[in-house]
Amino acid sequence: MQMSLRYQINIRILISSLCILILGSSIAIWQARDAVNKEIDSSINLAVQLITFGFSQASQTPFNETKWLPKFNSLNQTRHLSIQLKEPSGRVISFAHKNRLTSDGEKPPQWFINLVSADYPKVEHQITSFNGEQITLIIQANPLDEITEVWQESIGFFGSIFLLTLFTFLAVNLAFNKALKSIAVIVDALKVIETGQYSQKLPDFSIQEYDSIAKAINHMTGELNASQQKNRALTQHTLEIQEDERQRLSQELHDELGQSLTAIKVMAVTAGRSQAEDMRADIKQSTDSIISICDHLMTVVRSMMHQLHPLVLTELGLKATMEDLLNHWAIRNPELKLTIDCPDEVDDLEQKITIQIFRVVQECLTNIVRHAQAKQAAISLEIDHQAKTGKALRLQVTDDGQGCATDTIKTGFGLLGMKERINSLGGEFTIQTRPQLGMSVIATIPLP
């Protein structure tokens, strides 16, 4: 069962307070018991010494012990004692001491008295009176007054614990009210962000931890919003490219294939209607034209097929396709020196990887020729068997061109498209460039 944070905190405070109360009560009762024992022992010793001293003075000065002892018994120091005199005749004279603290009915509960009280011995002391009689002094502990004092102190302690617990509850709840309101604001904002509204921003919070969370979420939504805008732009750009490609293919099919097929049809009709005397010459001319047109059509179709999907990639593998691509670019751009380092084992890669690698290299060469103004470009493909995450394919395309600034990279659809191709394979795509120092495009793709 899930519990709220407030409930869990209050339960923990309550349990902690109960533990403190139990521990404090045990310590308080132990200290109270020890204090009562010490007070009783001290009072008995003091009483014995004072009474002994009084009777020793009585041997020199006549005095009546039945009058002196009540006055002595009324002293505050003897309030914990019950003093009796036992005469030689056996008569016992008691001197009651009125309990100062319990006179108003403020007697501690019996369970507290039982916990604090102990078995106090009865002290008997022989004293010689002025008349020479042997009187027995009987002192019995009466700790109720002291226990009452301790009980009142304990009540103060327990009250302090209760007030402290109550104050802690109130302080924690007041503090958590503000904290929980901040959490509610964050949760509501996350629910809005969950719907794809990455423009949602969290406000600043006075609590440092929540403010750090809010800033982190705002940074995340900012990145998500930027990525969303890039993806939308890339999608729009891709759709435009598709439409342009379809329009170009349609135009080529109309201009090249349509016109050429029409010409072939006209020549065939003309050859069929030719007269006998000049039939041979016309047929020879028509067949030559048809052959020329067919050769042109084959060239156009091959070019269109290469642009749509290079068949050599399926037939001969990635290495041969890359070499053919470089030869194609080298013929068209003799001023650019192109080199490639590619092992034979790349031909064993999956088709989905080889086509993406080919398109990335194709886009890199297009960018180098159009924008880099480079004199040299190097393509390196290698399979790293010692990668940290397992076997990986590493592609690097480097040129010595003019490079570009970092902010320019973020706006290029070509580079963004290459990054999306590599990311679709679970790989990492990085670009290293500085103005006038060339550019390096590095892609690392994990292999099964």
Q: CA-to-CA distance for 409 and 431, rounded, in angstroms?
A: 9
The answer for 90, left when phi > 0, alpha when psi is -120 to 50, beta otherwise, is left
Q: Is the dihedral of CA 356, 359, 365, 366 positive or negative?
A: negative
Residue type, 97: H
What would the mean pLDDT of 117-130 be, rounded to a whole number?
A: 68
Q: How many helices (H) and strands (E) does the chain have?
A: 12, 9
Superfamily of domain 316-446 in CATH is Histidine kinase-like ATPase, C-terminal domain (3.30.565.10)
- Helix, strand and coil percent figures for the chain, each rounded to 5: 65, 15, 25
Q: What is the pTM of this model?
A: 0.48
Contact yes or no for 211/194 (Cβ under 8 A): no
pLDDT at residue 361, rounded to an integer: 92
Alpha carbon dihedral 224, 225, 231, 236, in 10-degree steps, equals: 170
Q: In the predicted model, is pLDDT for residue 100 greater than 60?
A: no
Quick: pLDDT tens for 153-181.
Answer: 778 877 887 788 788 778 877 777 777 78
Domain ranges of the chain: 5-170, 316-446
Q: pLDDT, tens digit, for every residue of 314-345?
A: 778 899 989 988 998 899 899 999 999 999 99
Phi/psi-derived region of residue 391, left when phi > 0, alpha when psi is between -120 and 50, beta in every other case: beta
Q: What is the DSSP letter of 204?
A: P
The H or E element that residue 194 is part of is helix 144-194
Q: Tell me the C-alpha distance between 231 and 368, whole Å.
A: 24
Where b means 16+ CB within 10 Å and e means fewer, 168-185 reads eeeebeeebeebeebeee
What is the mean pLDDT of the segment spanning 79-83? 63
What's the pLDDT score for residue 102? 44
Instruction: Report CA dihedral (288, 311, 234, 216) to the nearest 10 degrees.
Output: -170
What does the pLDDT average to over 41-50? 68
Residue that the structure tokens 């969370």 belong to: 213
Question: Token pair for residue 413?
Answer: 């659809």
DSSP state for residue 337 in the 8-state scheme: E
For residues 38-67, average pLDDT: 61
Tens digits of residue pLDDT in 395-438: 999 999 888 776 666 656 677 788 888 888 888 899 888 888 88
Asked if residues 66 and 87 have their Cβ atoms less than 8 Å apart, the reply is: no
CA 402, chain centre distance (Å):
43
Q: What is the pLDDT at residue 101?
A: 45
More confident of the two residues 109 and 246: 109
**Cα–Cα separations (whole angstroms), residue 37 to 45, 154, 177, 388:** 12, 17, 49, 75
What is the rounded distance in angstroms from the CA atom of residue 413 to the CA atom of residue 416?
5
Which residue do the tokens 């010494």 mark? Answer: 49
**Gap between the Cα atoms of 37 and 32, Å rounded:** 9
pLDDT at 54 over 70: no
Three-class DSSP labels, 22-55: HHHHHHHHHHHHHHHHHHHHHHHHHHHHHHHHHH
pLDDT in tens, 261-279: 777 777 766 666 655 445 5
pLDDT at 305: 67
394 or 48, higher pLDDT:
394
Confidence at 63, pLDDT banded by 50, 70, 90? very low
pLDDT tens across 360-406, in order? 998 899 989 988 889 999 999 999 877 666 789 999 999 998 887 76
Output the CA–CA distances (angstroms, integers) from residue 61 to 51, 113, 131, 139, in the order listed.
15, 43, 11, 24
